[in-house]
Structure 1
Amino acid sequence: MIMFSIFLVLIVIVCFLLIVVIMVQNPKGGGLSSTLGGSQQMGGVQKTTDFLDKSTWTLGVLLIILILFSSLSFNSGNSEVKIIDDKQVTPAKTEVPAPATTPAETKPATEVPAQ
């Protein structure tokens, strides 16, 4: 269960970073280039756009991998899963039941003469 908690924390961190990287990008493809100026020599704006694009894909792939590994670690921790409940399974009986016997008839007690 500890591994699942670690994966959960990592997934939350990656999701937060992915949200930040996506929010920084411009929806029309400009991204930070419109904010930092139109010239490509000034601050390497084209490199910034490439970095944001690559980091989005990297974080997305990392998120999928973390989700898959957390799923595996969550299922492997529960190793005592039973498909069939023992109480529901009854063994097959092959014995023939014994015939019903009647109780022996009781005789009335004879009176013992009093002395």
Structure 2
Amino acid sequence: MSFTIFLALIIIVCFLLILTIMVQNPKSGGLSSSFGGGGQMGGVKNTTDFLEKTTWVLGGTLIALILFSTLSFNNGTGGSKLVDENAAPAIVKDAPAKQATTPATKPADSAK
């Protein structure tokens, strides 16, 4: 149950992170170019700072959610559940063994 909640939160954070990165433009474009002058409320510099900080916060949140979901998936044991120790070992059938072929020998003449 809690893993499902973490998964939903991870998807939401990923979507927000994608939006935040797509809005940014490293060459003074993007959302910050739509504001004309520096005298406007928010300004260009503040917009880029806000988007950069938002990207870092969302990235850190994503990493934390992934780590916590891993603990939730393992039920807090910290061990891997990829291999079940209680399962019966698999039976592997080998290819049929080839019989050694030896040259046919003549039966010993016992009548001599």
- The separation in 2 between residues aligned to 1:3 and 1:69, in whole angstroms, is 10
- Structure 1 residues 73 and 27 mapped into 2: Cα distance closer, same or farther (>3 Å)? same
What is the Cα deviation at residue 87 of structure 1?
Answer: 6.3
Match status 1:66 vs 2:65: yes
What is the Cα deviation at residue 20 of structure 1?
Answer: 0.6
Q: Equivalent residue of 2:56, what SS?
A: helix
2:25 corresponds to: 26
State the structure with bigger RCO (CA 8 A, min sep 6), 1 or 2: 1
Selected match of 1:40 from 31, 34, 38: 38
What is the Cα deviation at residue 58 of structure 1?
Answer: 0.2
State the Cα RMSD in Å.
2.6
- The separation in 1 between residues aligned to 2:11 and 2:84, in whole angstroms, is 33
Larger radius of gyration: 1
Query: What do the CA deviations read for 1:4-54 (whole angstroms, capped 9, x no partner)?
Result: 0000000000000001111111132444221111x2111322211111000
Structure 2: segments with no counterpart, 5+ residues? 90-112
| TM-score, L = length of structure 1 | 0.63
